[in-house]
Amino acid sequence: MSEQNVKIIPLGGLEQIGMNMTAIEYGDDIIVIDGGLAFPDEDMLGVDLVIPEVTYLKENKEKVRGMVVTHGHEDHIGAIPYIEKELNIPIYTTKLTMGLIDYKLTEHGLQDSIRRKIVSYGQIINLGCFRVEFIRTNHSIADSCALAIYTPAGIIVHTGDFKIDFTPVYGGVIDLQRFGELGKKGVLALMADSTNVERPGYTPSEKTVGKTFDHIFDDNRDHRFIIATFASNVDRVQQIINSAYKYGRKVIVEGRSMVNIIRIASELGYINIPDSTLIDIDEASNYPPEKLVYITTGSQGENMAALSRIAASIHNKISIVPGDVVIFSSSPIPGNEKSVYRVMNELEQKGARVIYHDTHVSGHACQEELKLIYALTKPKYAIPVHGEYRHLKRHSELAQEMGIPKENIKILTCGQVLEVGEDAFEVVGKVPAQGVFVDGLGVGDVGNIVIRDRHRLSENGLVVVAFTLEKGSMQLLSGPDIVSRGFVYVREAELLMEQCRDIVSETLYECLEAGDTDWGRLKNRVKDDLGQFLWERTKRNPMILPIISEVE
């Protein structure tokens, strides 16, 4: 690598929504931007979360100077506790974002072992050879920021997730002047949010949703409200509370993540709750239903979230009654549509009225906002981030419309190492960046082979073959016994099970007669012979699990 070039290494957040994480390296210094998680796809059976792979950072741990975080959404902070267990690096971010990170670290018992520093807009921190400036932006959570990263090779601007909102619910307006000043200094590369790049025009202000809530509350004065939104959308929660207070209603917060985030935001002064507006769920019976508003999690149809449990009639304290008004104040994340519509249908069947039009605005910039950032920063190179491939592709076309030569735009994949300098802009290598599965307490112990096995089990079921051999003589003492799960209903397939026993018995006698007593080979022969028989008879391929016991 030339002494004049810097390396940009995305470890997540490209060709997908979520799991945002990028490493920037120069010489003996590395900084990390964000540490987000992604929620599993439907085919990741049993997986709870997907987090970035940090193998490269672990191998270069002595170079990592710290992590800078753009805002407090799960796809940017959710993996931080797992990453910190591996790296133990200092964290720098704004006040609300740090409050949310602190809660996560406390849950994982890391609150005393990780160095953390709260920064203000306009503040510059020094991390090795890098200087990082935090710039005010707008998003669907307060305290969001863009980063100006001063490197020996030039200035890199990372927008984080952003929109341009001239009437934000909390805090100030995006610091467009600072983007313009950076453009005059000369920006080497712009890494900008691609999530909404397919949408023309501008993203509406968050305050427009508040007016919509007021209209809905006014039109439904005689009905109870249940409103689902993202727990981390603090500005949205504030507007729901504002409307509830205006129309004389009490607010009940339901859902663990919602309760925690509102508590943290309230303690830090990012949400204002009028006295006596918030009540405990156990106090709900003291008020008529038309005086209540429930704010819940579950706007994405998540199985165990509060709204899904309410819709399925398995919530222990809230039941839908005809006339309830349920508002979905978020758009379905790509891939979640089926789950969201399932919950909507269940609610409608129970007599609720579901409202989801005009009750949400995005927190991401549309085309004209992105063009403005390009016009202000005038970058030499464009590196689209945060989005699926179609978003990144459209973003590259927008950058060309803004005068960036095609050869100065790179659509990267996770793990690619991009070398950037005044005279360099090329991919020079690749590092591991597969994504790590979190399943319960297990991190990384579920891989593609386990997922493939789960698919086989879910699609074709399991056949267990158990038999006992005498130690020494290797004579068959008992079995083979056949147990089926998820393959056929045994009571209606007794003949098939009997034939399976005959096939396995024959295979075992052949092997033992020939003196072949190696357990590995015995199991493989049983799998092969029984598998071929079952395919011929049923045209199915269940997982076959031979279990050998040995007694003296």
Task: Give catalytic residues, as residue numbers.
Answer: 193, 364
Determine the Cα–Cα distance for residues 406 and 368; give it in Å rounded to an integer. Answer: 20
Neighbour order of strands in the sheet with 381-382: 124-127, 130-136, 145-151, 154-158, 187-191, 381-382
Q: HSE, CB side, 13 Å, CA atoms: give it for residue 146.
A: 28
Nearest to 76 by CA among 141, 149, 151, 166: 141
Q: If you search the block for the tokens 């987000």, which residue do you land on? A: 36
* Cis peptide preceding 289, ω within 30 of 0: no
**Residue 503 is encoded by which pair of tokens?**
């096939």
Q: How many helices (H) and strands (E) does the chain have?
A: 15, 25
Cα distance between residue 181 and residue 425, in whole Å = 24
What does the buried/exposed string (b/e) look like for 422-444 if buried means 16 or more CB atoms within 10 Å of the residue's CB?
eebbeeeeebebebbbbbeeeee
Euclidean distance between CA atoms 283 and 279, whole angstroms: 6
Count of other CB atoms within 10 angstroms of residue 161:
27
Alpha carbon distance 141, 72 (integer Å)? 7
How far is residue 545's CA from residue 375's CA, in Å, rounded to a whole number?
62
Look up residue 257 and give its DSSP letter.
H
Cα within 13 Å of Cα(481), Cβ side:
10
Encoded tokens for 277: 């507006």
Phi, psi values for residue 400, rounded to 5°: -65, -40
Rounded Cα distance between 110 and 504, Å, is 53
3-state secondary structure of 59: helix
**DSSP secondary structure of 286-306:** GS-GGGEEEEES-TT--TTSH
Please report which helix (H) or strand (E) contains residue 532, including its range. Answer: helix 519-538
Instruction: Count the Cβ atoms, other than its own, within 10 Å of residue 338.
Output: 10
Is the separation of the CB atoms in 33 and 68 below 8 Å? Answer: yes
Q: How far is CA 215 from CA 46, 126, 148, 456, in A?
A: 42, 49, 41, 51
Q: Give burial (CB, 10 Å; 0-12/13-18/19+) of 487.
A: buried
CA 485 vs CA 462, 463, 465, 495, 522: distances in Å: 5, 6, 12, 16, 22
